[in-house]
Amino acid sequence: MTIRLLIVDDDPLVRAGLTFMLGGAEDIEIVGEGADGDEATDLTERLRPDVVLMDIRMPRVDGLTATERLRARPDAPEVVVLTTFHADEQVLRALRAGAAGFVLKDTPPTEIVAAVRRVATGEPVLSPAVTRQLMTHVAGSAPDDRPGRARARLGTLAEREREVAVAVGRGHSNAEIAASLYMSVPTVKTHVSRILAKLGLNNRVQIALLVHDAGMLDEGAAS
């Protein structure tokens, strides 16, 4: 499988470096480059990339707005956020909008290539520890009713689905969830798909953020 990749960054040197670095991978094809969010939308429409590597801070239309637009599409590409910060409010907002994860601009080339490959297969590029760091970073500006709203949404799930959601929030793989909850991996995948559909979410990162909002990770069990 060849991964069609679109690179969006307002710095031409960064774009050139990423193109040189990622273009050397046999399974990655650089289909285009953009300098802001408007170009990201237009190029995605024309080029149909599988993955978009998106800078957050750009002039005119930023990466956050572009991510929201792209992930709202019926044939949405996966989005990986490029940033210079470990804990940044805009990164968290991009993840809530449906980005599959983020990579720092000083990440080693092999890790960026691996990140693109992972999100192309539906795996998030974000550890539970980083999720908690991001959540803590913006906790002071979060709505007071966020935990209640998150619990209400998760309350629409069946008990088994909530158990799977909490395991996803802890960063467990499908195989680890299957082993801990005594079910098959295909059954776990089915539950994850149902959770995404019922809650109107795009990926496992958003499940993890919702579970974190609800406070279920600290409780140790869905309720």
pLDDT score of 125: 80
In this structure, are strands 28-34 and 78-83 parallel, antiparallel, or unpaired? unpaired
CA distance 52 to 58: 15
CA distance 9 to 211: 32
Q: Locate all alpha helices (DSSP H) within 82-143, ordered by sequence.
A: 89-97, 109-120, 128-137
Mean pLDDT in order along the chain per 10 residues (223 residues) = 95 92 92 94 95 92 91 90 75 83 85 91 71 59 72 93 92 89 94 93 85 75 40
Tokens of residue 121, six digits:
């297969």
What are the residues whose beta carbons fall under 8 Å from the beta carbon of 124, sequence distance 6 or more? 100, 101, 118, 203, 204, 205, 208
Helix %, strand %, coil % for the chain, to 5? 55, 15, 30
User: Cα 222 to chain center, whole Å?
Assistant: 23
Residue whose pair of structure tokens reads 């709202």 in the numeric block: 72
Which residues share a beta bridge with 28?
3
pLDDT score of 186: 93
Count of beta carbons in the 10 Å neighbourhood of residue 42: 12
Tokens of residue 159, six digits:
């008990």
pLDDT score of 156: 95
**Cα separations in angstroms, 217 against 60, 106, 177:** 38, 31, 15
pLDDT tens for 65-124 read: 999 999 988 889 999 998 877 666 777 788 888 888 888 888 888 889 999 998 998 887
**Cα separations in angstroms, 88 against 92, 98, 165, 180:** 7, 16, 25, 33
pLDDT score of 2: 94
